[in-house]
Structure 1
């Protein structure tokens, strides 16, 4: 498995969101490994994106979006769920990240079932909070370098061409005209 290099994330955030589709997230949990194929992403940028956490200014919560690309940006939402993002942006932007919304489970399915307390494989990680629960991703992974073999990283994935479906991002009230939610069916 070839880990995606830092240069991969030094592109337009929207481009990276599309290119992450079909790639694999690898989560090392002690002796166990969980792997899933990325099937849905959303792009969030900076000053041109009022729906982005980075739109107004840098804060302690969103600081990862302004820092080195190829790192994890994990945030807590609704007082109960974590969401996993990858910092990615063209150098002309100050901030940017791609929310990983869903994966297709590939390895470690029994662990994911235990973590989620369900056995329906289609519902294990078909949403951002479900994904972080299945993969045991929390604030402890905030800032992790995803370009190195560590507790979590992203690798090359499926090679066949895939039809990308683009739609408005989910659960936002601003910048709804931006069709920066991307999905593939595999």
Structure 2
């Protein structure tokens, strides 16, 4: 009874607003509203996947947006909660860099492998000039060094940054289970 009451309240308020924004908002806001509408409908309908205790579906923590193209497994990508949160923070920093310095589009590929999870963030921007990352770290700007590489390495993982000027940047993050 309580779930039905909550479902009606959410349907009559929040879901209607999200649907309206999805139909009439600017494209980026509309895409975000549509994604949130789907997630909220799943929540109130009770069709959420039950996860093992202490495990988190990494997909639920990933950044979203009209400028971000996501390719991920259909099923849950399970990691212990702390590992998922740290990896998601590193992914978020890589996506923020792609949005800030890239050419407007970014791609996020999630691979769920038996030994771990590999996530690749790629953009179509101008790329990173040779020596730029080392100079940024020397200047005290620690985004790639600490927020991305530091988080992943603390989890026993590795980060690779591949960039060619004029051809964009690719950041690959791998975290073992």
TM beyond 0.5? no
Q: What range describes the TM-score normalised by the shorter chain of this pair?
A: under 0.3
Where is the strand percentage greater, Structure 1 or Structure 2?
Answer: 1
Higher relative CO (CA 8 A, sep ≥ 6), structure 1 or 2? 1
Bigger radius of gyration among the two: 2
- Structure-2-length-normalised TM-score: 0.25
